[in-house]
Amino acid sequence: MPPTPRWLAALSALLHGLGKLSARRLMALGALTGALWVLPSVFTGLRTEDFYHLTAVKGGAIQLPWRVNLFNYIDGNVGSIYGLKDFGTVPWFTLQDYKVAFFRPLASLTHFIDYRYFPDQPWLAHLHSIGWYVLLIFAVTRVYRRLHSVTWLAALAALLYAWDDAHAHPVSWLANRNAIMATLFGVLTLWAHDVWRRPAGASRPVRWLAGVLAPICLALGLLAGEYAVGALGYLVAHACFLDAGAAAKAGLRRWLTRALVLLPSLLVTALWLFMYRRLGFGTYGTDFHLDPLRDTQRFALELFWRWPALISAQLFGVDSEAWWRLSTPTSIGAAAVAWIALLVSFYYFRAGLRDRTARFWLAGMALSTLPACAALPQDRLLFFTGLGGFALIAIAVERCLAAAGGAVSASSSTAMTDDATDTVSAAASASVTTRGGAALILAMLLFVHGVLAPMTAPQRSLIMHRFGDELTQVGEAIMRSHPDHAEHLVLLGGPSYFYVASTLGLRATRGEPVPRHLRMLHAGRGPLIVERESPTRLVLTFPHGLYNDPFDGTYRGTQYPMKPGEGLQLTWMLLIVREIDERGVPTVVEVNFQREVRRGHFHFVAWQPPRVAGTPGHFREFSLPEVGERVELPGGT
C-alpha cells in the first residue's frame, strides 16, 4: 500500500480532535461560526421586497389572526396588472394575467413582528434572520449525529453545512427568511420521522409522539414557504433506504409499508396544495417561477440543465446563476459536462454508496433538489441540497481515510453495521489509481467548502446590500434625467427591464419622486433602431428581440409567444407588434403617440452603457429623429 499523503494524515488528526466534541459543543461551534460568517449582513438594512413588506405592515395589510400574508405580490387580476403596466412597474409585454403570489403566513408573521415593533431598526430584523439560521444549524447537527455513529463524520458534515457560503445570500435578505424557516421545519420533519421509524432505544410513546410531530413540522414548513416541499425528497429516501419496519419485510409488503409511512406527510402536502390553489396562490406567465403542475412539460425539459446546475453548484462550488447568461446550445453543453463530472465523482466514491445511509443521502439530495428546479437556478436554493451533499462529502472523507489506512472508525452509520464492513473492505481493495483520483476530488471538495466557503461567505452576505445600492443608482439616474415629474418618461434602452421596473416600484413604495408614467419601450440586451414614420408614430426594431435576457422571462415566459397585431393601449400611447422572430418575441413594434410629441407631454431618454466595466451607466436626453429618419441606440448590459 502506498504511503498516506501528508494532507490526509493531517486531516485524520484534525478529525480525531473534532470527534471528541460533545453534541452541545459541536452545535455551539457550528452556530457561532456560521453566524459569524453572515454577521456583516446586519448592515444591509432593507432591500427590494423588504420595503414592500414594511409598507404593507404599516398600511394594515396584516390583520391577525386571519390575514397574515405579505407575499401576494401580483395576484393575476387583469385590471390590476394593466394598472401596473400603465404606471410602469412591469413592462408593457407582461402577460395580462401574470401572477406571482405565494402563501407564506408563518414567515409573514415574523416580518410583522419586525416591522410592527421595530420598524426603524432593520439590524434587529437581520439578527432575527440569523437566529433562525442558528436554529437550522442546530437541527442539521442533530440529524447528522442521529444518523451517523462516527462523531467526527457528523461534526464535519455539520460544520461544512454551517460554513456554506451559498447560505449567506438568503440569510442576509430579510424577504428570503421564509427559505430558512421552511428548511428548519423540513429538517425537524426528517428528525421526527427517523425517531418514529428507527427508534434506537426510544420508548413507544416517544416514537408515536415523533410520528405525530413529523407531519406537524412539515405543515409548519409549508406555511413558512413552498421550499419545504423539498423535505419530501428525504422522507421518500428514508422510506427506501433507512426505514426499519420496511427493511424487516419482503416483496410487496415492503413497498406497501414504505407507502404507508409516507401517507401522513403526503396527506399534509396534498391538503396544503389544495388550499394553496383554492385561495388563488401560485405563479403564471413567468420563467422565473415555473408551476410544475401547470407547466409540467416545460418543467421536465428545464430539469435537464437546472438540476445539474444546482447539484454542481452545491458539490463543486460552481455559481448556478452563471447558467442564466448562457445561450441554449451552451447551456446544454454545460449541462452535459456537469452530468459527466457528477458521474465521474460518484464512480470514484462508488464503494461508499454500498452503505444504506450514503444511498439515503444521495437519493435525498437528488429528490429534494427537484422542487427547487421550478425556479431559475440560484445558490440560495441549496439549503436542502446541501443537507445531503455535505453528508456525502463527509462519508467520502471517511472512505478515503479508510482506504489510506487512516480511518477513525470503520462504521459511518447507526443504520448499517454489516454493510459498513463490506464498504471499508471494498475501499481497502480499491486500485491505487482509483484511490488517487478519489483523493484528488476529495481535496478539491474540502478546499472549496472548508477553506473558500468561509472566506467568501462574509462577502456574499453583502450581496443584497450591493444590489440595493445598484437599484438606487439606477433610480437616481432616471430621476436626474427627468426633472419634470408630470411628463411621461419614455425609456429607449436601459440596464434591464427588471432593474428599471423594480426601481420605479421601490421609489413609489418609499414615497420618493417618480414619473407620472414610465414607458419602457426597450430595456433589454442588444441594440435598438428607432425610425420615425410620422410626427406621432415610431417604429422600433430590435435585431435581437424585444426581450432576450433569461431574466426578462420574469415577466413573460418563453412558452407564451406574442403575435403580430397584438398590442396594448396605454395612457396616450398605443403599442402594436408588427413582426416577431421564431420564438414569438417581437422584433418590430409600432408606437403611436395619441397627443402631441413635445416636452411637457413626453420626455425621451436613452441609455448610455458604462464605458468601463464595473462603472455605472447613465440615461441621457434623447431627441427623436426627423420624420423618415432612423437612429441606432445601444442596448442594456
One domain, residues 499 and 384? no
Relative to beta strand 517-522, strand 488-492 is: parallel
Peptide bond into 610 cis (omega under 30): no
**123-133 tens-digit pLDDT:** 999 999 999 99
pLDDT at 32: 94
Q: Of 416, 444, 461, which one is at a domain's C-terminal end?
A: 461
Of the candidates 311, 299, 367, 365, the residue with the CA atom closest to the CA atom of residue 335:
311
pLDDT at 413: 40
- Please state, in angstroms and rounded to a whole number, the distance separating the CA atoms of residues 337 and 326: 14
pLDDT at 478: 85
One domain, residues 506 and 395? no
HEC sequence for 135-204:
HHHHHHHHHHHHHCCCHHHHHHHHHHHHCCHHHHHHHHCHHHHHHHHHHHHHHHHHHHHHHHHCCCCCCH
| Three-state SS at 541 | strand
Write the DSSP symbol of residue 525: B
Residue 297 within a domain:
yes
One domain, residues 324 and 192? yes
- Please state, in angstroms and rounded to a whole number, the distance separating the CA atoms of residues 324 and 291: 19
CA distances from 304 to 285, 308, 309, 334, 336 (A): 21, 7, 9, 11, 9
Q: How far is CA 465 from the centre of its chain?
A: 18
Query: First CA to last CA across the chain, in angstroms?
Result: 56
| Contact (CB, 8 A) for 299 and 292 | yes
Q: Of 433, 461, 489, which one is at a domain's C-terminal end?
A: 461
Residue 95 within a domain:
no
Range of the domain at 207: 6-69+104-461
525 — alpha (psi -120 to 50), left (phi > 0) or beta? beta
Of the candidates 133, 137, 135, 139, the residue with the CA atom closest to the CA atom of residue 170:
133
| Contact (CB, 8 A) for 335 and 304 | yes
Residue 92 within a domain:
no
| Three-state SS at 500 | helix
One domain, residues 473 and 435? no
| Contact (CB, 8 A) for 211 and 264 | yes
One domain, residues 248 and 325? yes
Count the domains in the chain.
Answer: 2
Residue 97 within a domain:
no
One domain, residues 512 and 388? no
**What residue ranges of the chain have pLDDT lower than 70?**
1-5, 8, 247-248, 404-437, 485, 613-614, 636-637
- Please state, in angstroms and rounded to a whole number, the distance separating the CA atoms of residues 511 and 184: 36
To which residue does cell 414619473 refer? 515
pLDDT at 406: 47
One domain, residues 313 and 381? yes
One domain, residues 257 and 291? yes
One domain, residues 477 and 401? no
pLDDT at 558: 87
The residue length of the chain stands at 637
**368-391 tens-digit pLDDT:** 999 999 999 999 999 999 999 999
One domain, residues 592 and 448? no
